[in-house]
Amino acid sequence: MIFGIKTSPYMHAPQSVGQVMAQVIYALLPGTLALLWFFGWGVVTNLLLSLGFAVLLEALMLKLRERPLLPFLTDYSAVVTGWLLAVALPPYSPWWLILIALMFAMVIGKHLYGGLGYNPFNPAMVGYAAVLVSFPIEMTSWPAPALTSIGALSLNETIQQVFLGGLSTWDGLTQATSLDTIKTHLRLGETVEQISQGAAFGWIGGQAWEWVSVAWLAGGLWLIYRKIISWHIPVALMAALAGMALVFWLINPDHYSSPLFHLMTGASILGAFFIATDPVSASTTPLGKLLYAGGIGCFTYIIRVWGSYPDAIAFAVLIMNMAVPLLDTYTQPRVYGTKGRFGS
């Protein structure tokens, strides 16, 4: 009998990139449902448009790059990118904003660098940052949760706002986010405690945002439990962010928000568990992950507090993406039987 030759190992864990990405999508469900609850149909249009554009652009780029469609479309990485952008952009975003964000994410952020696995920057954050600096008005018009929660705005009105723009009542439905409010009101000389009485604030974080954050947290913990992500990045990111917030809050609580507020508002939890953990653009060594995520936490705080943008997860992630090759090189773990990094 003649047998085929192959090299060891001959066994493989029942796990594929597609399955990994699918679990990330499952973990995004609770947070997405919470968003839907608080912001209504705009979350659905965001999601449908974003996913549609992501898959279309992925297919188009694969075609242009003469790569096989099926294995790369079923890795679901485009779906994850689309999903992350959908939940990061303000609900009821106009269709063209979503398209531009996705074009930056999929075409420039991902495929021009070589596609899956070769992108140095987090594609979703590339898209997000590009539209944030280009269209600041649209990007800061977050609907007010109380006015747009599920059922408050009809599907017709939603479609009008998303596809035609200029829903006459739209301006009245938006509201500055808690991070935004703090930034503008501090300049007016108010204390954090006074500002926190405003409508945009909830119990510990932003109004509605705190509950969305809790839902992201639940999904994120499930990812750690399923060993899809390791604890290093979320823990280091949250620790750095909360740590910096704690120091300044202890120094002057009138001027600086509490660590808990910083964690439970904006995109902190989403960023810690779902965005910074994108394996392709993150550091891969244990120590490298801690430094990488710690850097994101610090930069997020710095930009939030002293920069001109209210939230900063996207910029912080992109900045730290640049440091990844360096971090990976200098944080090699000690190999069995060797003394140190380069020693033997």
Partner 1 sequence: MFNLRKLWQHKGGLHLKDYHKDQSTQQPVRQLSAAKASELVIPLQQHAGHKPKIIVKAGDFVYKGQCLAKAEGRISVPVHASTSGTIQALEERPIAHPSGLNDLCVILMPDGQDNWGDQRLTPLENYAEASAEVLRERISQAGIVGLGGAVFPSAIKLAVPEPVQLTHLLINGAECEPYITCDDMLMRERASEIITGCLIMLRALHEHAPAQGLNCLIGIEDNKPQAIQAMQTAVQQAKDPRLKLVPVPTQYPTGGERQLIQILTGREVPSSGRPSDIGVLCHNVATARAIYQAVVLGQPLISRYVTVTGKGVAQPQNFEVEFGLSMHSLIQAAGGYTPKAQRLIMGGSMMGMALPTDQIPVVKATNCLWVSEQEAESPALPCIRCGRCAEACPVNLLPQQLYWHARARNLEKVEQYHLFDCIECGCCAYVCPSHIPLVDYYRYAKADIYAQAEAREKADLARERHDFHQERLERAKREKAEKLAKHKEAAQTKTRDAGNNDKQAAIQAALERAKAKKAQQAASAPLASEDKPA
Footprint of partner 1 (CB under 8 A)? 1-13, 15-17, 19-20, 71-72, 75, 77, 115-118, 230, 279-280, 282, 284-285, 328, 332-338, 342, 344
Pick 121 or 256: Cβ nearer partner 1: 121
Instruction: Find the shortest distance in angstroms from Cβ 155 to partner 1.
Output: 37
Pick 90 or 115: Cβ nearer partner 1: 115
Pick 118 or 163: Cβ nearer partner 1: 118
Contacts of 318 (CB under 8 A, 6+ apart): 121, 122, 125, 126, 129
Instruction: Find the shortest distance in angstroms from Cβ 231 to partner 1.
Output: 12
Pick 165 or 286: Cβ nearer partner 1: 286
Q: From its phi and psi, is residue 28 left (phi > 0), alpha (psi between -120 and 50) or beta?
A: alpha
Note whether 209 and 264 are within 8 A (CB).
Answer: yes
How far is residue 175's CA from residue 144's CA, in Å, rounded to a whole number?
5
Q: Report helix angle 286-306 to 313-330, nearest 10.
A: 150
Pick 262 or 289: Cβ nearer partner 1: 289
Q: 81, exposed or middle or buried, with CB in 10 Å at 0-12, 13-18, 19+?
A: buried
Instruction: Find the shortest distance in angstroms from Cβ 61 to partner 1.
Output: 14
Instruction: Find the shortest distance in angstroms from Cβ 98 to partner 1.
Output: 25
**Cα 103 versus chain centre, distance:** 17
Instruction: Find the shortest distance in angstroms from Cβ 74 to partner 1.
Output: 10
CA-based R_g, the chain, Å: 21
Pick 11 or 137: Cβ nearer partner 1: 11
How far is residue 90's CA from residue 86's CA, in Å, rounded to a whole number?
8
Give 314-325 as a DSSP string. Answer: HHHHHHHHHHHH
Instruction: Find the shortest distance in angstroms from Cβ 221 to partner 1.
Output: 19
